[in-house]
């Protein structure tokens, strides 16, 4: 017998039909640019979208999220979708991003966030503040537990910029913009403000890429050497042996590239702190962080901040740090002090001394005073300190030392040379226990390989405390 439907039943069934229609329409909708970016990140046919229908009344949100495999390993990711409300972040978008972070934390897998948004959804008013707060809280919870990589591929401003820079590594495309407060008003015009180039020069962006394809490729390359989480050993399954010869004339990135596995080196913060080099790569499969100081140059505040930031990253994931030391010390001038030279040199020393990961130093040239203490001192926590045969290790420059010891005279230049050769040489340092081995440049690779292997099971118990009282 035919039964008459009540008004509420008609309404309910109509809503169900409407929702089914919406679902059908959404399934048929072509993938957005944001979705395509995630598809290109993951292995073929491995991307699984999460929260596809999260939103008000079945409408899409300005973010695409999900998980998949990158070279066979699980990775979680989200990408802001400018095709929906200009990628504006609202409570629904925050819910999707929060879900990604939660799953990544529980399963010990990396997170990649692709940022491209006009900002928070003003239509939701104060709710956007809560939405951003949820994201910031989850990003902080993941910090040091699983790797986070931010890819800025468009506009990233305000709180979004802050969240992006909470990631372990920030990659920016050349045409992207990153700033806290818009610097583009008529009364406050700043040349180059917000550009990727300036972000790189200020140490915010670790890597610059010409476009989104290259940025995603760089992110995938990082994933190939970073561990899935802080409890796993990091290694490069695709490493290739390097047959390059290490010679005494190599410095900086060239030296690092000659030691590390072939094509494994990824330089970070290239445009920032240019008297120092930081790079991540692998050595005989094992992932390693590499630090280099260039040609005896004195370290600036930027150099110190750059190295400290990098060592802290390596320490979080128990990645051994290899430091090539050739430095006369730290920059001296009133300008340097005003720029935070003392503060940042203390930050550098603290980062090395407090790091519990394996630390191996190679003095390739000069290691004077505080530069030796901060970067290579066995007393300050270096597990192994090697020195090339011609290395000079001294409490100050040989020139300053002979003046202090003998006073000013016409013979100071000759005395300084004799001091460097007889009292500040690598063999004297080794005899006094400040160097563990004196090696040739050619032997560097084998010495580092065995040292990293010997420290692969390093365990350090530290006093109970919240964290190091870091010098910011």
DSSP one-letter string for 335-388: HHHHTTHHHHHHHHHHHHHH--S-EEEEEEEEEETHHHHHHH-TTTT-SEEEEE
Whether residue 3 is contained in a domain is answered as: no
Evaluate whether residue 409 is within a structural domain: no
Instruction: Let me know: does 179 contact 157? Beta carbons within 8 Å.
Output: yes
Indicate whether 63 and 208 sit together in one domain: yes
In a domain, 208, yes or no: yes
CA separation for the pair 232, 403 (Å, rounded): 52
Query: Which domain does 377 fall in, by range?
Result: 234-391+435-454
Structure tokens at 313: 């990253």
How many angstroms separate the CA atoms of 163 and 133, rounded? 10
- Report the 10 Å Cβ neighbour count for 124: 17
Burial class (CB in 10 A: 0-12, 13-18, 19+), 161: buried
In a domain, 227, yes or no: no
Helices (H), ranges, 231-340: 252-259, 301-316, 334-338
Q: What CATH number should be reported for the domain holding residue 163?
A: 3.90.226.10
pLDDT at 2: 39
Residue 7 within any structural domain of the chain: no
Whether residues 291 and 175 share a domain: the answer is: no
Beta bridge partners of 268: 278
76 in a structural domain: yes
Asked whether the beta carbons of 108 and 229 are under 8 A apart, the reply is yes
Check whether residue 43 and residue 171 sit in a common domain.
Answer: yes
* Together in a domain, 216 and 238: no
Residue that has been written with the tokens 């509420």 in this structure? 8
Collapsing DSSP states into helix, strand and coil, what is residue 419?
helix
Q: How far apart are CA 317 and CA 375, in angstroms?
A: 20
Report pLDDT for 106.
97
Q: At what angle do helices 91-107 and 127-142 cross, to 10 degrees?
A: 10
Examine residue 426 and state whether it is found in any structural domain, yes or no: no
203 shares a domain with 62: yes
Residue at which a domain ends, from 220, 254, 286: 220
Q: Tell whether 211 and 328 lie within a shared domain.
A: no
What's the pLDDT score for residue 56?
Answer: 58
Query: Do 50 and 115 fall within a single domain?
Result: yes
Task: Answer whether residue 144 is part of any domain.
Answer: yes
Reported as a single tens digit per residue, the pLDDT across 334-356 is 776 666 778 888 999 999 999 99
**Which letter, b or e, does each residue of 137-155 get, where b requires 16 or more Cβ atoms within 10 Å of its Cβ?**
ebbeebebebbbbbbbbbb
**What pLDDT sits at residue 406?**
84
Of 170, 194, 220, the last residue of a domain is 220
How many CB atoms are located within 10 Å of the residue 439 CB? 19
**Counted domains in the chain:** 2
Query: What local confidence, expressed as pLDDT, does residue 469 receive?
Result: 80
| 3-class DSSP assignment, residue 168 | coil
Report, as ranges of residue numbers, the positions in the chain whose pLDDT lies below 70.
1-31, 56-58, 182-190, 336-339, 471-472
- Distance between CA atoms of residues 212 and 219, nearest Å: 10
Measure the CA–CA gap between 154 and 131, rounded to whole angstroms: 21
Q: Tell me, what's the pLDDT at 10? A: 44
Residues 214 and 330 in one domain: no
State whether 185 and 81 are in the same domain.
yes
**172 shares a domain with 296:** no
Neighbours of 223 (CB within 10 A): 19
Parallel, antiparallel, or unpaired: how do β-strands 266-268 and 276-283 relate?
A: antiparallel
Residue 46 burial (C-beta neighbours within 10 Å; 0-12, 13-18, 19+): middle
**Cα(132)–Cα(138) distance, integer angstroms:** 10
The answer to whether residues 60 and 153 belong to one domain is: yes
Q: Check whether residue 189 and residue 254 sit in a common domain.
A: no
- The predicted pLDDT at position 420 comes to 87
Tens digit of each residue's pLDDT (9 = 90 or more) over 26-82: 554 446 899 999 999 999 999 999 988 887 565 778 899 999 999 999 999 999 998
State the sign of the Cα–Cα–Cα–Cα dihedral 373, 378, 379, 380: positive
Domain boundary among 156, 190, 220: 220
């Amino acid at each position: 017998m035919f039964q008459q439907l009540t008004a509420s039943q008609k309404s309910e069934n109509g809503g169900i039909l409407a929702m089914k229609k919406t679902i059908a329409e959404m399934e048929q909708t072509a993938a957005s640019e944001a979705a395509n970016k995630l598809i290109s990140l993951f292995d073929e046919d491995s991307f699984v979208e999460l929260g596809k229908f999260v939103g008000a009344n079945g409408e899409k949100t300005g973010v695409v999220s999900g998980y998949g495999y990158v070279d066979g390993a699980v990775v979680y990711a989200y990408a802001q979708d400018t095709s929906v409300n200009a990628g504006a972040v609202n409570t629904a978008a925050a819910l999707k991003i929060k879900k990604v972070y939660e799953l990544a934390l529980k399963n010990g897998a990396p997170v990649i966030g692709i940022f491209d948004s006009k900002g928070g959804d003003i239509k939701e008013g104060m709710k956007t503040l809560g939405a951003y707060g949820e994201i910031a809280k989850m990003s902080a919870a993941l910090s040091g537990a699983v790797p986070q990589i931010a890819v800025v591929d468009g506009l990233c401003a305000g709180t979004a910029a802050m969240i992006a820079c909470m990631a372990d590594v920030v990659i920016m495309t050349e045409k992207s913009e990153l700033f806290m407060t818009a610097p583009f008003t008529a009364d406050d015009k700043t040349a180059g403000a917000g550009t990727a180039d300036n972000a790189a020069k200020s140490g915010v962006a670790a890597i610059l890429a010409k476009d989104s394809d290259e940025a995603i490729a760089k992110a995938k390359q990082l994933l190939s050497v970073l561990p899935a989480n802080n409890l796993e050993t990091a290694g490069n399954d695709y490493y290739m042996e390097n047959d390059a010869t290490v010679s005494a004339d190599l410095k900086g990135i060239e030296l690092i590239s000659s030691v590390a596995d072939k094509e494994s080196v990824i330089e970070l913060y290239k445009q920032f702190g240019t008297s120092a080099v930081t790079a991540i790569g692998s050595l005989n499969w094992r992932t390693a962080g590499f630090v280099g100081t260039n040609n005896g140059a004195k370290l600036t505040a930027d150099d110190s901040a750059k190295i400290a930031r990098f060592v802290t990253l390596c320490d979080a994931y128990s990645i051994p740090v290899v430091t090539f030391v050739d430095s006369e010390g730290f920059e001296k001038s009133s300008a340097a002090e005003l720029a935070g030279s003392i503060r940042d040199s203390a930050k550098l020393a603290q980062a090395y001394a407090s790091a519990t990961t394996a630390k191996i130093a190679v003095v390739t040239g000069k290691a004077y005073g505080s530069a030796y203490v901060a970067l290579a001192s066995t007393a300050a926590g270096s597990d192994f300190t090697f020195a090339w045969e011609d290395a000079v290790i001294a409490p100050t420059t040989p020139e300053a030392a002979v003046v202090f010891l003998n006073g000013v005279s016409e013979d100071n230049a000759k005395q300084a040379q004799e001091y460097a050769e007889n009292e500040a040489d690598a063999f004297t340092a080794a005899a006094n226990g400040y160097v563990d081995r004196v090696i040739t440049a050619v032997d560097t690779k084998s010495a580092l390989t065995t040292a990293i292997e010997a420290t692969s099971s390093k365990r350090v118990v530290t006093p109970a405390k919240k964290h190091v009282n870091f010098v910011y």
